[in-house]
Amino acid sequence: MRPESRSVQVTEVFTSIQGESTWAGLPCFFVRLSGCNLRCSYCDTKHAYPQGRVTSIASVAARFARGTAALAEITGGEPLAQPGFRALARSLLDAGGGRPVLVETNGSLDLSLIPDRAIAIMDIKCPGSGESAAMDMENLKRLRPHDEVKFVIADRKDFTWARGVVRKYSLTECCHAVLFSPVSESLSAGKLASWVLDSGLPVRVQVQLHKVLKVK
C-alpha cells in the first residue's frame, strides 16, 4: 500500500442515526472526510470544505470494529477525491464483520472507485444546486443493483429535470432505489410528495430524518 493510502483527511467521526437513503433509521458509524470539489447552493456541510486532520485508516477501522452501529457510512465533503478512500472503504468492510458500508458521493467522480462490496449513495445534481454541469453522467452506467441515487430538489424546475433523468436512464430499473429529497429552505416535503404522486414515478420521497430527530 502506498504511504498516502494509510491515512485520510477527516473532518469528524461519530455515531448517529442514519438520516437518508433506504438505510434511514439505523444506528450508523459516520466517517466524514474533508474537502469537496463542488460548491452546491444548498450545502449543509460547509464545515467539511477545509483540510481536516490526518487520521490513520487503521484507527478508524478499529473504532468501527469496537462499536455496535449497524452500518458505516463514508461521507464528506467528497470521499472519492481522497487518495486513501479505497483503502478506508476496504478496511471498514473488513472490520465490520459483514455490516454494510455506504459511500455518499456527489456524482462528479468515477463511481468505479467504490469497492464492489460497498454501497454507493450517489447524488445526481439538479440545476438548482448550481453544479449540475459537474456531474459525470457516465456514472449512471456504472451503477450496480445494490446502489442508490439521490436527487435533491429545490423547485419545480429541478423536479421536472430529475423526472426526465429517471426516465431517460431507466434508473428505477438499474439500481436499488431512487430518492427524491426537498431542499427544506425552498420546498416542502408535502409539495414534493404531491408532485411524485402526480408523476407516477416509483421513487421514494425522503426527508433528512436526523434533522427531524434533532440528532447530529
Give the model's pLDDT for residue 40: 97
φ and ψ at residue 19, rounded to 5 degrees: -100, -10
Give the model's pLDDT for residue 216: 82
Give the model's pLDDT for residue 6: 93
pTM for the predicted model, two decimal places: 0.95
Give the model's pLDDT for residue 52: 95
User: What CA–CA distance (Å, rounded) separates 215 from 186?
Assistant: 22
Give the model's pLDDT for residue 3: 46
User: What CA–CA distance (Å, rounded) separates 163 from 117?
Assistant: 29
User: What CA–CA distance (Å, rounded) separates 183 from 203?
Assistant: 17
Give the model's pLDDT for residue 214: 85
Give the model's pLDDT for residue 200: 96
Cite the DSSP H helix spans in the chain: 57-66, 85-95, 139-142, 156-168, 171-174, 189-199, 209-212
Which CA distances in Å does 196 have to 36, 62, 76, 155, 193? 30, 42, 28, 13, 5
Q: How far apart are the first and last CA of the chain?
A: 34
Give the model's pLDDT for residue 175: 97
Contact 104, 132 (CB under 8 A): no
CATH architecture for the domain at 3-212: Alpha-Beta Barrel (3.20)
Give the model's pLDDT for residue 211: 87
Give the model's pLDDT for residue 42: 94
Map out the domains of the chain as residue ranges.
3-212
C-alpha cell at 187: 420546498
Nearest to 127 by CA among 104, 147, 148, 156: 156
Give the SS3 label for residue 202.
Answer: coil
User: What CA–CA distance (Å, rounded) separates 105 from 136?
Assistant: 12
Amino acid at 136: D
Q: Which residues of the chain form beta strands (DSSP E)?
A: 7-17, 27-33, 53-56, 71-75, 101-105, 119-123, 148-153, 177-182, 204-205
Tens digit of pLDDT for each residue in 46-103? 999 999 999 999 999 999 999 999 999 999 999 999 999 999 999 999 999 999 999 9
10-residue mean pLDDT series, the chain (216 residues):
73 97 98 97 94 96 98 97 96 98 98 97 98 96 97 98 97 97 95 98 95 87
